[in-house]
A and B are shown apart, each in its own frame.
Chain A
Amino acid sequence: MKADIRVALVGNPNTGKSTLFNILTGLNQKIGNFPGVTVDKKTGFCQLPDGRTAEIIDLPGTYSIYPKSKDESIVFSVLADKAKGMVPDLIVVILDASNLKRNLLLYTQIADLKIPVVVALNMIDVSEKAGIIIDVNLFAQKLGVPVVPISARKIKGIDQLKTTIAYANKIALQQDTIDVESIAPNLVAQIQAEYKIDNPYLALQLAHQHETLGFLTPAESDRIEELEKEHAFHSQKAQASETIARYNFINDLLYDTVKKPETAHDETVSNKIDKILTHKVFGFIIFFAILMFIFQAIFSWSAYPMSLIEQLFIKLQSLISKTMPAGPLVSLVSDGIIAGLSGVMVFVPQIAILFALISILEDTGYMSRVTFMMDKVMRKVGLNGKSVVPLIGGFACAVPSIMSTRNIENWKDRMITIMVTPLVACSARLPVYTLLIALVVPDRNVWWVFNMRGLALTAMYLLSIVSAIVVAFVMKFILKSRERGYFIMELPVYRMPRWKNVAFTMYDRSKTFVFQAGKVIIAVSIILWVLKSYGPGDRFAQIDKTFSQPKYTKTMTPDSLDKVIASEKLENSYAGVFGHVIEPVIKPLGFDWKIGIALISSFAAREVFVGTMATIYSVEGDADKMESVQQKMHGATNPDTGKPVFTLAVAFSLMMFYAFAMQCASTVAVVYRETKDWRWPAAQFAYMTALAYSASFMVYHLLK
């Protein structure tokens, strides 16, 4: 679509910017009360009343044009980069009418860049209810820009906003807010002259931000540095005096235009909720109750849809094998691709439920309270209150959780959070644990109420949290911090979750999971299928020849003969050969070559384990019937000793390996994407593998 004008949305976090974006464009996206959720640059199109089309760009929420995080730095670079043509024709600044003072700081900064501006005065209903009276006309007149009162949640004032966008002036008419030149008089003038910049505030921002701006060449950046030294420019001092000047302007403006009632803010609903939710005792009880509820929901609500999906794929498999002639192609589709697909799709209910619940917690504002409550504990172990959200999210999947660490401003805190998040027991480990626990732990109750299998599973989850905390604590001493940590964070007022948004998050995350993890899992299934269906040299032909001799065909039933041939072929396939190669390495952990194949294939994704076990131990397909996998593994015996393969020691050793090893290609990829340095995922892979190997080794020898 070709747009006639480009409009950027700019505003503080929690001002309803994303909600407005959704209304204007009709294109939905993830939004939350948790500061900094809007990360990527989102764009959409909006039909204006005069028939033209506007391209709407949603910029990350920020309190100031001076960035405190990677996301926030996008705002200024979009507004300043004339060369790339990213600069919008018009900026819509969204202000929270119930919290104008702090919101106006960003407005004054944006206004001084002298790009045409329209102000959307959002949450006008909330502010009216609170008794705040805003003289909108006088406000607009003083700023020199159109001001439109709206309520994005209640979809009020949107048409008027669209009209205002359509008829907005092409030249910036806003009043100056502060005297920019006086902050750094000669420096600003010289940068303006050397770089041919009309706008003094843009010149001042280049002085402040030249080190991080992508569109400046190193030579240009060095030259600005030189000028700064020449004029004794001190970035922080300049910013401090600028901020004070801006708030002076804001206080003058609000004095004439806004009347606030003298009510005690303690009485607000949000404060009453906070008294309970951040209470010394109840606060933690409620937090742990919510966590328990999330786990319960993940396990119990997903049981039915999960078995439905499993059955669907089993039916599909049998349909294919019945209707199509047997051969390598059918085998590839049925045992390779469909088995792999089923392994992906079966996790969708769990992922959807977890993300729905997390998005409700973010949307209501509760997540920032959790951050507030947990900061002290988290800081002791080298993390940050804001690390709580990724760690909880890690129970579902490390990939989106690692992405959500972006709103941790402190570099060291963020890196430690990224490094330990994959230790948290993600949903992909769940099938591995349930399978192995069911195999070796008796289904009995201890102390009447606690099921032993349930306890074993709880222990695995606790272990994951404890290990993440211990590793974080160790890393606190290893990593050298380049900056100091701080924790200045808005506690937004509680709000009802936006259900549409929750539903969209569920859909969006599940879709991402299916496509991202799905690609890997299907690829692995196909590779694994090839590796176990073909062998080096003429080994397969030899096997066929051996077993076609009368001494076998006469004495054995066709069924058991097929089984013997299949397992002989597996041992002589590429996968079998490979398993034998690594067997010496994993033998001290109690694993044989068959488990070795499962381990290797699980390095792409843990979910592959059950399917691999099924294909290795099964002869007749049925790859995803848990019951039958379990039975087959139960019956598996060591050919040398005749004893069962899966003893308590082996099963727990295997669980330890899955608990600690970095068996997830998607996580490795996302860690690289977030850190932009291969050494991070490499170090993570190395330490996790070492941890996995030693934990398995110890557990195996303790339980043997």
Chain B
Amino acid sequence: MRLSQLEVGEIGIVKEFTDLEMSVKLMEMGCLPGEEIKISRIAPLGDPIAIHVSGYQLSLRKFEASTIILQ
């Protein structure tokens, strides 16, 4: 299951990443393995998405979300 497959309001826990370069950036922003992520909303045109992670709101593109594999 990837983060991009979650619907609004659903929660997932990060397991690993498929892309090293992206993972470095995501981890700096608090998306780490073991961290809980909730989908806050999806942009009106379907992309990007806004997630709640590490106590704040982060936006990222669907493609970027698809590099996050959930438990």
Contact = CB atoms under 8 A, between A and B. Distances in A.
Interface of A: 63-64, 66, 68, 98-102, 105, 236-237, 239-240, 243-244, 247, 260, 265-266, 270-271, 274-275, 278-281, 283-284, 368, 372-373, 375-377, 385, 484, 486-493
B4 interface: no
- Which applies to chain A's interface (DSSP): helix, strand, loop or mixed? helix
Nearest to B47: A376
A280 B61 CA distance: 17
B60 interface: yes
A484 B21 contact: yes
A497 to B, nearest CB: 19
Contacts of B55: 98-102, 260
Contacts of B28: 63-64, 66, 105, 243
- Residue among A64, A68, A281 with the highest chain B CB neighbour number at 10 A: A64
A642 B57 CA distance: 68
B43 A247 contact: no
10 contacts: A68-B25, A236-B20, A240-B24, A281-B44, A284-B44, A373-B44, A487-B64, A488-B29, A488-B59, A489-B60
A377 B52 CA distance: 24
A236 B21 contact: yes
Shortest 8 CB-CB contacts between residues of A and residues of B: A491-B57, A376-B45, A102-B30, A243-B27, A280-B44, A64-B28, A101-B54, A376-B47
Contact of B61 (A247, A265, A486, A490): A486
Contacts of B1: none
Contact of B44 (A63, A236, A265, A279): A279
A280 B45 CA distance: 7
Contacts of B40: 266, 271, 274
B13 interface: no
Given A247-B32, A284-B44, A490-B56, 8 more contacts: A66-B24, A101-B30, A244-B32, A265-B38, A278-B44, A385-B48, A490-B29, A490-B59
A66 B25 CA distance: 10
Contacts of A68: 25
A488 B26 CA distance: 7
A487 B59 CA distance: 7
B41 interface: yes
A236 B50 CA distance: 25
A485 B55 CA distance: 26
Contacts of A486: 22, 25, 60-61, 64
B33 A244 contact: yes
Contacts of B54: 99, 101-102
Query: Contact residue range for chain B?
Result: 20 to 34
Contact of B60 (A98, A240, A274, A488): A488
A171 B43 CA distance: 49
Contacts of B52: 265
Given A279-B44, A491-B57, A243 B64 contact: no
B48 A372 contact: yes
A98 B32 CA distance: 19
Contact of B48 (A102, A243, A280, A376): A376
B24 A491 contact: no
Contacts of A99: 54-56
B32 A283 contact: no
B48 A375 contact: yes
A102 to B, nearest CB: 4
A126 to B, nearest CB: 12
A280 B46 CA distance: 9
A101 B52 CA distance: 13
A244 B27 contact: yes
Nearest to B31: A488
Interface in B50-70: 50, 52, 54-61, 64
B2 to A, nearest CB: 16
Given A99-B56, A243-B32, A244-B27, A491 B20 contact: no
Nearest to A254: B55
Contact of A236 (B24, B32, B43, B58): B24
Contacts of B30: 101-102, 105, 247
Contact of B43 (A237, A270, A271, A278): A278
A244 B22 CA distance: 14
Contacts of B50: 274, 278, 372, 491
A237 B20 contact: yes
A487 B32 contact: no
A240 B59 contact: no
Contacts of B24: 66, 236, 239-240, 243
Contacts of A487: 48, 59-61, 64
Nearest to B44: A280
B20 A283 contact: no
Contacts of A274: 40-41, 50
Contacts of A102: 29-30, 54-56
A638 to B, nearest CB: 52
Contact of A373 (B22, B23, B43): B43
Contacts of A101: 30, 54-55
Contacts of B21: 236, 484
Given A372-B59, A487-B59, A491-B59, A240 B20 contact: yes
A376 B46 contact: yes
A378 B41 CA distance: 19
A488 B58 contact: yes
B13 to A, nearest CB: 14
A526 B59 CA distance: 52
